[in-house]
Structure 1
């Protein structure tokens, strides 16, 4: 489909933005959230760093550009889920990091930022996936960042340092987590580890099948555990994966999710699975609207994959949420807001890819030409020269996941003047966040909860 022709005729789709409350929220299909009795399985879905504005804009983009409602919002409209607002604070701050947030879910107690399931006095709280593994369930984690990152680790291990990823990779092997999929080759590959340990060999000896690319998902053996490591570092952003051929062998979150469910669904004792859209958080840290929306929509496709299974299965508790907000992006009032927002469909790549392609020997004209090719934005001479100053060493920008000192903030401000999307910061926020729950046990979700309450909700729905 030619998106430019589509946008020229998008007046009808823009009308979706003006649905009445009755049209948006009423439905004759389901009048009560599903969920009674006890569950056999749990699927816990986390769009890491998802502020409410992220959820909203992904749905608006899906409606206006793709012509369909997002799966998450359709669960609300069709009244299929219980719904809550969640306080995400950690033990040390009203603004949590991912380690403390995941520990609240996984260990059932609030810990200080930066640690995984270890209390203030050094006490270790047994993570919930360990508990379920001990009673015979299969356990798994799927993510778009490294499998050893804070969010999957919070359900599985204890560590005083969230950044101890080489050690976390070894802990997973000891625990024999049944399914692990994501990035992080540097923590398993002997040529990339400082201690030169060959963790792939360790996993193979424990009857793991090692997956390396998209094709390997089709060759999974049911009798083996899975270690799927599809990249060094995190997996590529969804929009770059769609438009750059070098990322074509990387599976999507929905594809990994489907493979994980298929691998575990026939286990007599049931399974528990965590699914993380980790790069939603990274996109928010970079104030990168195209990366943010497309990775949230990729997470939304995983929501569909999970719900298709859970509705048919009838024995699975599904929790869909985030661990915290990040950067609180949102649309800005103005006469051209809808048109400006829709122009994001012209963006071909992430800001990370775009800014990495600029070099210090590029002229202001070179920069203007490249930005127009990548985003269809016409820069002024002053804007191009300001961007150029970063590559000449005159300015630099700090920030998490910005080790190359790329001018993410400056470029997002340039985009803001054209796309009407603003950001309050480049870091986590303490806002209350959305929780949706489906299936047996979901009826116990209260309208307002703390993050630790989800730990107890799981244990109540699927007793040990």
Structure 2
């Protein structure tokens, strides 16, 4: 189908003004061998580093450059002029600061919705999510993530729900919609042991022909001729650095890159092509906790998944790869100081996240034990005063409040102590209204303009794949 005819036919009637602006800036000139203009995208891979502020992308590249001599795969695409690049406005219908549900749903539905909902309009309209549109067009579809597979970002591409919090219901909708591969955490929402209704969702998926895999070995051995449900932890998956420093977790939990490769292998030979969403969801969780080890190492894990996708797209030549984030979070960055280089490099020696550190303490923990655990994890020598500040928070641990910090552990306080040693500062512990980075590689990337609205991406994907918006 001719793309210009596709536009005339009105299938992209809701495309944002940024794509149709009469004064668009010229896109970066690309190597014609890299981008084949007007070529249909048979496959689409969307990689989302959830909650990635620009400072996070920057620090991951600095970390890799200074440790290995080679920066991130994402920024290397920029350096080599191999992608089209844009900024994207991620506001929701209810706020200039979006949550992940509204952000993902803007891509999923092509409309801005209120924070907290999934593809439900401001007047209660139920929009058809984009992965359902591609399924109806004959493509295979799937998602992989480091948080529960029922979490906001994968769900925003797949289902309608008045509340992102109905993760048990989202698991049921996945079954009815028969997506081809869904992997991440979320045992709490599939297991009869944890579900409120005591329904065994694994049994239901198996009855529909799914292979259910619950560890890395089972995932790697899963055949490619049947749909796959992979659930590897009760909630989100362990942070990358904690996984890498624990033999049991390394053997049990697949990496995001491994899940991405398995998903591609499962769907790549389908005649009509496939669509895949890949999410580094715990980048966002780490930002909420001002947890620098969680943040940087999970961002580099996302970057390894970027390489998997780009390597496939280069060989395939029919795959559009989209790399982005849904919003900023905490806006971290390296702060000026005479010892900034050396202090930032100290993160290379970290063994564990702040989550691992702080969950190892309790009311009975001694000051010396706090010092020992942090010295082991971060190679930092705390003062007695600093250890006492942390210990004071354990006198009234709350186990019910806080979405990303239910125990109200002293994440902020530990990050402030670490700042003196690693030169990383944070402006908050919550989402921000950043315009976010967006990069595209492969057929359809020539459609990208320098600045777009989040909803534009929905229609751009349909246009790149030449799937009409008539649902």
Report the TM-score when normalising by structure 2. 0.90
CA contact (8 A) 1:34 1:438 kept: no
Q: For residue 155 of structure 1, give the secondary structure of its aligned residue in structure 2.
A: helix
Moved more, 62-71 or 44-53: 62-71
Distance 1:66 1:36 in 2: 38
Kept after mapping to 1: 8 A contact 2:34/2:442: no
**1:322-371: CA deviations, max 9, x gaps?**
00000000010111111110011121101000011112112212211221
Cα distance per residue 1:81-106 (max 9 Å; x no partner): 00001111000000000000000001
Deviation of the 1:66 alpha carbon: 2.6
User: Which residue number corresponds to residue 217 of structure 2?
Assistant: 215
Q: Does 1:360 align with 2:363?
A: yes
* Cα displacement string for residues 386-425 of structure 1 (whole angstroms, at most 9, x for unaligned residues): 1110112399996431112110000000001111110010
Instruction: Measure the CA separation in 2 of the matches of 1:381 and 1:83.
Output: 49
Aligned in 2, Cα 1:30/1:57: closer, same or farther, shift over 3 Å?
farther
**Which residue matches 2:413?**
410
Contact 2:35–2:443 (CA<8 Å) still a contact in 1? no
| Cα root mean square deviation, aligned | 1.9
Distance 1:132 1:96, change over 3 A: same
**Alignment equivalent of 2:145, drawn from 133, 143, 146:** 143
Match of 1:269 among 268, 272, 284: 272
Cα distance in 2, alignment partners of residues 439 and 424 from structure 1: 36
Q: Structure 2 matches for 1:90-101, cutoff 5 A?
A: 90-101=92-103
Residue in 2 that maps onto 1:438: 441
> What are the within-5 Å matches in structure 2 for residues 120-269 of structure 1?
120-248=122-250, 249-269=252-272
Distance apart, 1:381 and its partner CA: 1.3
Residues 180 and 397 from structure 1, CA distance in 2 versus in 1: closer, same or farther, beyond 3 angstroms?
closer
**1:48 partnered with 2:50:** yes
Contact 2:400 2:406 in 1 (8 A): no
- Render the CA deviation track for 1:429-463: whole Å, top value 9, x for unaligned: 00111000011110010001111111111011012
Residue 70 of structure 2 is aligned with which of 68, 71, 75?
68
Structure 1 unaligned residues grouped into runs of 5+: 1-25
Moved over 2 A (4+): 26-36, 392-400
Deviation per CA, 1:204-227: give whole Å up to 9, x if none: 111100111111123222221010
Pair 1:57 & 2:73 matched: no
Unaligned segments of structure 2, at least 5 residues? 1-27
**Residue 336 of structure 1: aligned partner:** 339
Decide whether the 8 Å contact of 2:30 with 2:81 is kept in 1. Answer: no
1:127-165: CA deviation from partner (whole Å, max 9, x where unpaired): 000011112110000000000000000001000000000
Displacement of 1:264 in angstroms is: 0.2
Tell me the TM-score normalized by structure 1: 0.92
Shift of 1:27: 12
